[in-house]
Amino acid sequence: MPRIGIIGAGVAGLHLGLLLRQHDVPVTLYTDRSPHDLATSRLQATVAHHAPTLQREKDLGVHFWPDAEYGYTCHHHYVGGEQPLRFRGDFTRPSSAVDQRLYLPALAEAYENQGGDLRVGRVEAGDLTTLADRHELLVVAAGRSAFSPLFASRDAYSPFREPQRRLCAGLYHGIRPADPKGVTLSIAPGHGELIEIPLFSRDGHVSALLFESVPGSGQDVLNDLSYEEDPALFLRAVRDQLAARHPDVFERIVPGEFDLTGPLDLVQGALTPTVREDFARLPNGRYALAVGDAHTVVDPIVGQGANAASHSAWVTGEEIGADLALDELFCRRVAQRRADVVLGAAQWSNFMVQPPAAHLLELLVAMSGCQSAADAFTDNFGHPDRQWRIVATAERTHAFLERHGAALPPAAP
Amino acid sequence: MPRIGIIGAGVAGLHLGLLLRQHDVPVTLYTDRSPHDLATSRLQATVAHHAPTLQREKDLGVHFWPDAEYGYTCHHHYVGGEQPLRFRGDFTRPSSAVDQRLYLPALAEAYENQGGDLRVGRVEAGDLTTLADRHELLVVAAGRSAFSPLFASRDAYSPFREPQRRLCAGLYHGIRPADPKGVTLSIAPGHGELIEIPLFSRDGHVSALLFESVPGSGQDVLNDLSYEEDPALFLRAVRDQLAARHPDVFERIVPGEFDLTGPLDLVQGALTPTVREDFARLPNGRYALAVGDAHTVVDPIVGQGANAASHSAWVTGEEIGADLALDELFCRRVAQRRADVVLGAAQWSNFMVQPPAAHLLELLVAMSGCQSAADAFTDNFGHPDRQWRIVATAERTHAFLERHGAALPPAAP
C-alpha cells in the first residue's frame, strides 16, 4: 500500500487525506500550524464552497454544516454605471461559506479519527530527501511551502507579473442578509469589485466583505488603513466605499451594529495569479505532485481557489486508488484529468481581473434580461471549466446567450 | 447550426457523421470511393470491433450484426518457444469482426438515410480553401487524404521511422473455428505474430489470418509471394508457416478446403506507426481536426486502429453537440478528452511491435497461470488506456499481477 506524504493541511491536503483514509491508504499530513493554532489565528480568506465541493464533503463524511442552515442559493448582481444593472442568478444546488478557522480544524480532527497521521512542524527545503525516501509520493498542497520551488511557473497560464487587485477581506456584524440569502457580487467600474458572502464563523452567521480593489483606485484606500490603529476611521472608510460604490450592500447596513467581528477577522493583501507545473521528479526518482495553491494561485474574485483545490485533491485521490504506480504516467494522468476544471478556474479568474472585455459587459447586460442565462452563469461557479468555455471569446459568449434565447447585442458593423 | 465537413468515410468518418445526424447537425462527408466501389474492392484490413465500439454502433442504430451470431467471446493465446504457453482470456462483453466492405457501405447507407450528405470524388490539396469556407469545421478522417500534411508528426509518440512489421492479411476458407469462438493470438518469437479472427464477409463466416512478420524473418517470406501469380505456392507457404510457428491454428485446417476466399481477399503491405498533431488552424481562421488514421496510424498488431478511430469520432461528435464554438478551445478539448484512449492505443501498439520487454514475457507467463489477469488483459483490448497503464513499465506489470494474485516472477537480484 503506497505511503503518501502531503505537505499542507488546507482544503486540498485535508480532502485528499480524508479520501485516502477512506481507502485505507497510509498517509501523513505535514502542517506548520496545529489545528488549535489555526482556529485562533487571523482570518486568511473568505471562502465559499460550491455544490461539487459540498458533495465531496458529503462523500467524505465531513459535511458538518447542513445546507438548510448554512447554505445559500443565489448570487445577487450589481453593476455600477450610469444605468446600474441588477439581476439575480440561482444555483441548482446550494453553496455555503464557513470560516476556514472552524472548517479546517474540524476536518483535521475527522482525518485523525480516521487514522490519518498529522504532523505539526515546519517543513524545510532540506527535508526533501528525507520525505522523498519516507513516502512513495509527495503531494505538495501548500502555496508557501519550502517545496513550492519544485514547480516552475507556466507562462502560458500566468499572464501577470504582479497582483491585479488589492484585497481587503473581513467579517462584519450589522449587515442584514440579502433576500433570498445569497452572495452579492457588486462591480464598481474602474475601482474593482465587492463580494459579500453570508458566512458562518465562531460569531455565528456574519457577513464577509471581500473588497477587490484596482491598485490606486478610490476603493483601494481601504488597503492603506489599519483597523487596529484606528477602528473608527477604518469602519467609516468601509461604509463610505459601500455608500459610494456598492449601494445594494450599503442599504442593508444596520445603524449602530456595523463593525468588524474582531480585530483578527480582517486580512489585507494581494497575490499574483500563477499556474505552476503539475509535478516534479525528485532526486530519488519518485515524484512530487502539486495540488491546490502549490499548483494554481487564483485571485479570489470569483471564489475558485478552494473549489479547484478540492477538485484537484479528489482526482489525485481517485487516481492513487486506481492506478498501478505513482510514477510519471500517474502524474500525467492526474494533470490531464483535472486540467479542465483547474485551468478553467485559473483562466476565468484571470479574465475577470483584467480590464473588462466588451463581451463580458455584453454578457452582464444580457443576463440582466435573461433568467436562464443568469442561472447558468451562477451554477457555473461550481463548474469553472464550463464558465471559461462561455467567456473565453466573444463568439462563445454570443453563442451561449443565443442558446438561452437572450437578447443579443447589436452585431458589430 | 454548424456545418461540419468530414474527409474520409471509414469508421471514424461514418461514426462521426451518424452521431452528428442524430443531433440534426448538417454534415457533408467526402470520400474518394463510392460505397458500391468499396464493396467490390480489395480487402484493406481485418478489423475486430470491441465492446465499446459495438456499444456506439448500438447507440447509432447501426449494429446490424447481432453479437449472438457474429460475436466472439475470448482470445486464445499461444506463445511459441521451448516450453510453449497456452492460455485463454475471456471478454466481459463480446467483440466481433465484419468485413469492412460489408460494414462501411451499410453504415454509409444509414448515414444517407438519416439525411447525411455523401459526396464521392477525390479531394485535392487545392480544395482546402473552398472546403474551409464551406464548413465551420473540417474533420480529416482519412489517413491518405490530400489534407494529411496539415497535421505534423509528433515525435514523442512516433518512435519509428519505418514499419516494424510486414503485414499479410487474408480471408480463408477451411479453418475450423476455435472453441469457444474467439481470436487466436499466436506469437512466434523472432518471427512475429499471427492474429486469426473469426470474421464475417460476403462469403459468410470465414477466418482472417493477419500475419505480422518481423522484416527479414522466416515468416516474412509470405510478403514476397503473390497469390495471383501462383495460388498454390502462396497457399503452401501459408500452410508451412502455420505448421512451423502457429500450431494452434494449423491443427484446425480442414484438408482440401483451405484456400483464400477470393483473389481480392488478400492485402500485403506495411505501415509506419505515427501520431500526428490533433488539429490545425486553417488560413481562414477556422480549424481542421484530425481523427482516425489522419491522427494516429497504429500497427494492427493488437487491433486498435478502428476502435480508437471510433472513440475519437465519438468524443468529437459529443463536443460538437455540447460546445459553443468550433475554435481552438474546442479542438484542445477534443484532444484532451480522447488522449488517454487514442494515445494509449498508439503506445500499447508501439510497445508490442518492439523487441519484447522482459516484463511483457513475465506478463504472458503469469497470465498463463492466472485466469483473472488473462481476462482483464483481454477485456482491455476495448480499453487501450487501461492496457497501456499495465504494460508501460515493469513496476506497473508487477503491480497488476499482484492485484490479481498472480505468481510473480522472482525479483531481480
CATH value at residue B262? 3.30.9.40
Q: Residue B318: its chain A contacts at CB < 8 A?
A: none
Q: Quickly state the pLDDT bin for B117 (edges 50, 70, 90).
A: very high
Mean pLDDT of B354-372: 97
Within 8 A by CB and 6+ apart from B358, the residues are B394
Distance CA B162, CA B119 (A): 34
Q: Is the pLDDT of residue B412 over 60?
A: no
Q: Residue A392: its chain B contacts at CB < 8 A?
A: 329
Same domain, B388 and B299: no
Average pLDDT of every residue of chain B: 96
Q: Which residue of A has its CA nearest to B329?
A: A389
Same domain, B156 and B173: no
- Half-sphere exposure at residue A61, Cβ-oriented, CA atoms within 13 angstroms: 12
Please give the radius of gyration of chain A, using alpha carbons only, rounded to the nearest integer: 21
In a domain, A55, yes or no: no
Distance CA B297, CA B141 (A): 11
**pTM: predicted TM-score of the whole model, two decimal places:** 0.95
Q: Residue B403: its chain A contacts at CB < 8 A?
A: 324
pLDDT value of position A413: 45
In a domain, B65, yes or no: no
pLDDT value of position B145: 84
Nearest CA-CA distance, residue A387 and chain B, Å: 11
In a domain, A301, yes or no: yes
DSSP single-letter state for residue B61? T
Q: Does A325 touch chain B (CB under 8 A)?
A: yes
Within 8 A by CB and 6+ apart from B274, the residues are B153, B158, B296, B297
In a domain, B213, yes or no: yes
Same domain, B180 and B243: yes
CATH number of the domain within which B113 lies: 3.50.50.60
Q: Which residue of A has its CA nearest to B338?
A: A336
pLDDT value of position A233: 97
Same domain, A144 and A39: yes
Q: Does B339 touch chain A (CB under 8 A)?
A: yes
What's the grid cell of residue A254?
A: 444596520
Could you tell me which of A339, A337, A294 has the C-alpha nearest to residue A317?
A: A337
What's the grid cell of residue B347?
A: 503506445
What's the grid cell of residue A243?
A: 455608500
Percent helix, percent strand, percent coil in chain A, to nearest 5: 45, 25, 35
Q: Is the pLDDT of residue B2 over 80?
A: no
pLDDT in tens for each of the 413 residues of chain A? 569 999 999 999 999 999 999 999 999 999 999 999 999 999 999 999 999 999 999 999 999 999 999 999 999 999 999 999 999 999 999 999 999 999 999 999 999 999 999 999 999 999 999 999 999 999 999 988 889 889 999 999 999 999 999 999 999 999 999 999 999 999 999 999 999 999 999 999 999 999 999 999 999 999 999 999 999 999 999 999 999 999 999 999 998 999 999 999 999 999 999 999 999 999 999 999 999 999 999 999 999 999 999 999 999 999 999 999 999 999 999 999 999 999 999 999 999 999 999 999 999 999 999 999 999 999 999 999 999 999 999 999 999 999 999 987 665 44
Mean pLDDT of B28-43: 96
Q: Does B318 touch chain A (CB under 8 A)?
A: no
Same domain, B109 and B236: no
pLDDT value of position B171: 98
Query: Which stretches within B51-171 are classed as H helix?
Result: 51-60, 67-70, 100-113, 128-134
What's the grid cell of residue B122?
A: 477525390
Say if the Cβ atoms of A396 and B325 lie within 8 Å. yes
Same domain, A125 and A211: no
pLDDT value of position A143: 87
Q: Is B339 left (phi over 0), alpha (psi -120 to 50) or beta?
A: alpha
Q: What single string gives the DSSP state of each residue in B114-133?
A: TT-EEEES---GGGHHHHHH
Same domain, A121 and A38: yes
Q: At what angle do helices B11-22 and B305-322 cross, to 10 degrees?
A: 30
Same domain, B208 and B124: no
Same domain, B249 and B278: no
Q: Could you read off the pLDDT of B53-94 as tens digits, one per residue?
A: 999 999 999 999 999 999 999 999 999 999 999 999 999 999
Q: Does A318 touch chain B (CB under 8 A)?
A: no
How many domains does chain A fold into? 3
Say if the Cβ atoms of A390 and B324 lie within 8 Å. yes
Mean pLDDT of B282-286: 96
State the residue range of the domain holding A375: 358-403
Among candidate residues B226, B252, B270, the one where a domain is terminated: B270
In a domain, B335, yes or no: yes
Same domain, B336 and B283: yes
Please give the radius of gyration of chain B, using alpha carbons only, rounded to the nearest integer: 21
pLDDT value of position B411: 59
In a domain, A71, yes or no: no
In a domain, A21, yes or no: yes
Same domain, B232 and B334: no
Same domain, B182 and B241: yes
Phi, psi of B214 (to 5 degrees): -65, 125
β-pairing verdict for B137-140 and B287-290: parallel
Q: How many CB atoms lie within 10 A of CB A126?
A: 8
What's the grid cell of residue A50?
A: 460550491
Distance CA B281, CA B324 (A): 18
pLDDT value of position B413: 46
Task: Residue count of chain B, please give it.
Answer: 413
